[in-house]
Amino acid sequence: MEKSKILGMVDHTLLAQTSTWEQIKELCDDACLYKTASVCIPPSFVKRAKEYVGDDLKICTVIGFPNGYQTTEVKKFETKDAIDNGADEIDMVISISDLKDKKYDEIESEIKALKEICGDLILKVIIETCLLTEEEKIKMCEIVTKSGADYIKTSTGFSTAGATFEDIALFKKHVGENVKIKAAGGISSFEDAEKFVELGADRLGTSRLVKIAKKEK
């Protein structure tokens, strides 16, 4: 697979607590240059980034990040605020506590509430696979499918591990046709990225692939 095609599936990501505006600006510049699918950045930078790139680049941000234990009302407010500031895509974190407590209806209701706010904008649901059993991962495939969200996403990149080939294969087997897949966290080479895509990933959350492309230029 051509590297340009892989880069076109990347959400070029910078979510570190120490991120500065200069770093976010460079991220946007590189994303425009390499034609990535979007940049994924902290909510506090969305407004400035959107003003900086205009319609040249999709701006993605995170909601309930990274632990997912905010209330639904807080996540709804965060989502509305992000969209008002110019976000084109929303990556939300589920309440893992609710999943462990088998509060499946509450999780589905929360995702639906955020999708209603997003409307035609893309909503991705982060389930933090490294903290889940296989049974819980399969259940989340079912819930995300029923919720109307656009993507199921593996990881925040802030927990104990990121995307694995096994999880993407599991997602592909259990999500509905209406749900796409985002692998995120720890994708460090074009070879791994290609394997994730072959297994079913439609998006890749990473900062490393653009960095590799820049070095090779």
Element (DSSP H or E) covering residue 90:
strand 89-93
204 - beta bridge partners?
10, 183
Of 11, 88, 91, 167, the catalytic one is 91
Question: Nearest Cα to 174, choosing from 202, 124, 134?
Answer: 134
Of 58, 124, 153, 180, the catalytic one is 153
Does residue 91 carry a catalytic annotation?
yes
Does residue 3 carry a catalytic annotation?
no
CA 179 to chain CA centroid, nearest Å: 13
Task: Report phi then psi at 83, rounded to 5.
Answer: -70, -40
Question: Nearest Cα to 184, choosing from 52, 82, 37, 70?
Answer: 37
Does residue 47 carry a catalytic annotation?
no
Q: What span, in angstroms and rounded, lies between the C-alpha atoms of 69 and 166?
A: 26
Of 58, 75, 180, 182, the catalytic one is 182
Specify the 3-state DSSP secondary structure of 51.
Answer: helix
Element (DSSP H or E) covering residue 58:
none
Q: What span, in angstroms and rounded, lies between the C-alpha atoms of 63 and 55?
A: 22
Residues with catalytic roles: 91, 153, 182
